[in-house]
Structure 1
Amino acid sequence: MPKTLSSDDIQQFRETMRCVAENAFATRGAQGVTMRELAKELGCSAMTPYRYFRDKDEILAMVRAAAFNRFAARLEAVAKEAPATDRSAVSDAYVAFALDEPHAYRLMFDLNQQEAAYPELQAASHRAWRMLGTHFEQLVAAGLLEGDPELIGYAYWASLHGFTMLALANQLPLPQAQQAAGSAAPTREAVFAQIRRMLWRGAQPQRG
């Protein structure tokens, strides 16, 4: 008869599974991962994960929820420290998270699940979008940007996501620290700075 699992037992197993599954899903894709493979990588029997999860989709939802929460926490921490009118801090934090945690970032946005079926994932996703929404509402309220904050936010996200995915695929110029001395090519940092200038210029209030 299986022993009764304590809350600590459950939490420890779930966290171990999260780490293993994040790498597996990100590198092999959701369709390329099975419960049996995850169990093997954890060093447990094929049936053990079913004591903690209904199926693979529930594991994927847990992994994505954790990623969204870490993403939101990174943005929230930066927004708390920076002035509400700082237009660069949040975008810098957005890209920094993706470059620091590429597996997590890809799983957040490359996959789609019915979030209503996974309350933890739905709450984490909404937390991240609420943070971004509040950021643009503050910039519009301060008169630094003009227009619908939600629409500006989507345009902003689309641009940053495009930049980030190209950077993760090594399709952008090298960062300054990796370029050869005397190189005339634009750096990745310069491309990012240009994107920000274009975004802000397009949403700035029209004077006169």
Structure 2
Amino acid sequence: MPPRFKFTKEEIVQAALDITRESGLSALTARALAARLGCSVKPVFGAFKNMEEVQQEVMAAANRMYEDYLKTDMAKGQYPPYKASGMAYIRFAKEEPHLFKLLFMRDRSGEKIEENREEIRPLIDLIKANLGISEDDAYMFHLEMWIYVHGIATMAATSYLDWGDEFVSSVLTDAYTGLKYRFSEPEEKSSATVAGPAEDLADGSAAAGDNI
């Protein structure tokens, strides 16, 4: 079959995404992309101005994949929604390490980074509603929990560890319970000390009134 000389942008981006998933962004060159498509570089640069444009499209496609992981895991009901978001983040790191590194481990020293709470608004609202804490406390709760989750995900993406879901779920419960205690009101801390540590996430299900 003779080589095709016309490809849609979607076909080119999909080929570029496949290369990145397999070997990382550094492997995504014009020649590698042309070889994957079975053509010269001409169709690539007919659809895109340069490889930077292709890379931006790959990042957008990778982010859509990550969002699908979140939506899928949060809708399953295996874990409370907030915990499911962390489990999905770690699962994405394990199953798509090159895309995880592209989205969450790349050098961003040349990028302008701004705080945008609206991007995580659903998670902040979950924390506020279920723990009864302020907007700022809910944001800090999530930030500290995310640092913990990101550490596990980073080690998974770099093959530093290979923990199973049951163990990951257990350590996330420990981190969540500790943060919940620290952000709770004094009278709630006193009650928790008498009753023992909360186990609302220990078995993957939430206690009454704490369904996050």
TM-score tier after normalising by the smaller chain length: 0.5 to 0.7
1:100-139 to 2 correspondences below 5 Å: 100-111=95-106, 112=108, 130=119, 132-139=120-127
**Normalised by the size of structure 1, how large is the TM-score?**
0.67
Change (3 A) 1:192 1:78: closer
Match of 1:180 in 2: none
Q: 1:4 and 1:43 mapped to 2: Cα distance? A: 9
The one-letter amino acid of 2:142's match is G
Match of 1:200 in 2: 177
Helix, strand or coil at the partner of 2:8: helix
Q: 1:65 and 1:115 mapped to 2: Cα distance? A: 17
Change (3 A) 1:81 1:41: closer
Q: Contact conserved, 1:136 with 1:153, CA < 8 A, in 2? A: yes
User: May I ask how many residue pairs the two structures share in their alignment?
Assistant: 177
Q: For each residue in 1:41-89, what CA deviation from the matched residue of structure 2 results, as whole angstroms up to 9, or x when unmatched?
A: 4321132210122212211111111111111122123334549964422
Change (3 A) 1:192 1:162: farther
Moved more, 86-95 or 98-107: 86-95
Q: 2:14 and 2:168 mapped to 1: Cα distance? A: 37
Change (3 A) 1:166 1:104: same
1:76-155 to 2 correspondences below 5 Å: 76-82=71-77, 86-111=81-106, 112=108, 130=119, 132-143=120-131, 148-155=137-144
Match of 2:10 in 1: 11
Match of 2:205 in 1: none
Kindly indicate whether residue 63 of structure 2 is the aligned counterpart of residue 57 of structure 1.
Answer: no
Change (3 A) 1:10 1:37: closer
Match of 2:193 in 1: none
Q: Point out where structure 2 has 5 or more consecutive residues left out of the alignment.
A: 188-212
Superposed displacement of residue 144, structure 1: 6.2
Identity %: 19
RMSD: 3.6
Change (3 A) 1:10 1:34: closer
Q: 2:38 and 2:156 mapped to 1: Cα distance? A: 35
Select which of 32, 36, 44 maps to 1:37: 32
Change (3 A) 1:152 1:73: same
Change (3 A) 1:39 1:115: farther
Q: 2:86 and 2:36 mapped to 1: Cα distance? A: 36
Change (3 A) 1:21 1:51: farther
Helix, strand or coil at the partner of 1:148: helix
Q: Point out where structure 1 has 5 or more consecutive residues left out of the alignment.
A: 117-125, 177-187
The one-letter amino acid of 2:157's match is L
Change (3 A) 1:63 1:115: farther
